Amino acid sequence: MMVTGGSRGIGAATARMAGARGYHVCVNYHRNPAAAEAVVADVEALGGGAIAVAGNMAEPDDVDRLFAACDERLGPLSVLVNNAGVITTAARVDEMTADRINALLAVNVTGCFLVAKAAIRRMSSRYGGSGGTIVNLSSAAARLGGAGSLVDYAASKGAIDTFTVGLAQEVAAEGIRVNALRPGLIETDIHDDTGLPNRLSELGKTVPMKRTGTADEVAEAILWLAGPQSSYITGAILDVGGGR
Ligand code: NAP
């Protein structure tokens, strides 16, 4: 299994849980090797196998290097968790610069395409592969819109919803299932990057279930969509947001 952005938050929870359940996990990270190595150590302590590999998923050469390392050290890939994603300081659309928008889309949209492409070239029967599953990380923001603060982020996740539906149909007959998850407000560091203090605690009260979610609650759903229990599901988008 490969988890992009597996060093922290939802990706790290997914990598740890997958390792505990017998997957060999490639933990990709961008800037934080210590966090990635800590995830690897946790997986190993649980009796599993994992490797940490650096790479910015917005950079095609880094994506190629990541997959080459995974091929060499873990063997054939059967699951991709397309998780790496970023959010930016809260701003209105009329305040956003082209550089800001392009930098966000490069990771959240182009990066997801590049990583899925590399996985398909390994998994698809079209290339001699034996199939697999891809789980893309969207967001409840794709439905809600992010007005006043995060419309660029929300729109990038809207693109992931559409990407999931189209890609699922494209590779369905080649042994690959593609699904997405739309997490709601999940307790990770990503919210700090909005610059909005208390974002999680304040918005958590507005969720129908009256609380934020944990990375482990999302990881459970990711592993279900990645595994054989969901064998007849492709092109689906699962909300994991406490009713929101
Ligand atoms: P997070 O805690 O901020 O962790 C982000 C992870 O992605 C880190 O491992 C980070 O690596 C990695 N990363 C960032 N930019 C990268 C890049 N260019 N290339 C490769 N890796 C990169 O985020 P999170 O909350 O777990 O979010 C994970 C995914 O879920 C994202 O796609 C996010 O949009 C989505 N999501 C999150 C929430 C939420 O409430 N948390 C809700 C909806 C959707 P480093 O450690 O090296 O920086």
Size of the chain, expressed as the number of residues it contains: 244
**Which ligand 1 atom minimizes the distance to the CA of 190?**
3
Q: ∠ at Cα 84 (220, 193), nearest 5°?
A: 105
Percent of the chain with pLDDT over 70: 100
Distance 188 CA to ligand 1 centre (A): 9
Q: Is 72 exposed, middle or buried, given 0-12, 13-18 or 19+ CB atoms closer than 10 A?
A: exposed
**pLDDT number for residue 20:** 96
**pLDDT number for residue 74:** 97
**pLDDT number for residue 64:** 98
Query: How far apart are the C-alpha atoms of 94 and 98, rounded to whole Å?
Result: 11
> What is the rounded average pLDDT for all residues in the chain?
98
**pLDDT number for residue 178:** 99
How many DSSP H helices and E strands does the chain contain? 9, 7
Query: How far apart are the C-alpha atoms of 12 and 76, rounded to whole Å?
Result: 21
Per-residue pLDDT of 99-157, as tens digits, reads 999 999 999 999 999 999 999 999 999 999 999 999 999 999 999 999 999 999 999 99
The mean per-residue pLDDT over the stretch 45-62 comes to 96
Per-residue pLDDT of 204-215, as tens digits, reads 999 999 999 999
**Which ligand 1 atom minimizes the distance to the CA of 185?**
40
Terminus-to-terminus CA distance in the chain, angstroms?
29
**pLDDT number for residue 6:** 98
Instruction: Identify the band that residue 56 occupies on the pLDDT scale cut at 50, 70 and 90.
Output: very high
**Which ligand 1 atom minimizes the distance to the CA of 186?**
40
**What are the extents of the domains in the chain?**
2-240
Are the CB atoms for 157 and 113 separated by under 8 Å? no
Distance 216 CA to ligand 1 centre (A): 14
Distance 173 CA to ligand 1 centre (A): 31
The mean per-residue pLDDT over the stretch 60-87 comes to 98
Q: ∠ at Cα 130 (125, 135), nearest 5°?
A: 95
**pLDDT number for residue 128:** 98
* Ligand 1, pocket residues at CB < 6 Å: 4-5, 7-11, 28-32, 35, 56-58, 83-86, 107, 137, 139, 183, 185-186, 188-190
**pLDDT number for residue 148:** 97
The mean per-residue pLDDT over the stretch 182-198 comes to 96
**pLDDT number for residue 23:** 96
Active site residue 127: no
Class of domain 2-240: alpha beta
The mean per-residue pLDDT over the stretch 180-203 comes to 95
**pLDDT number for residue 93:** 98
The residues pairing with 25 across neighbouring beta strands, listed in sequence order, are 50
**pLDDT number for residue 54:** 98
- From the list 184, 156, 192, the residue with the least C-alpha distance to 82 is 156
Percent of the chain with pLDDT over 90: 99
Per-residue pLDDT of 3-37, as tens digits, reads 999 999 999 999 999 999 999 999 999 999 999 99
**pLDDT number for residue 66:** 98
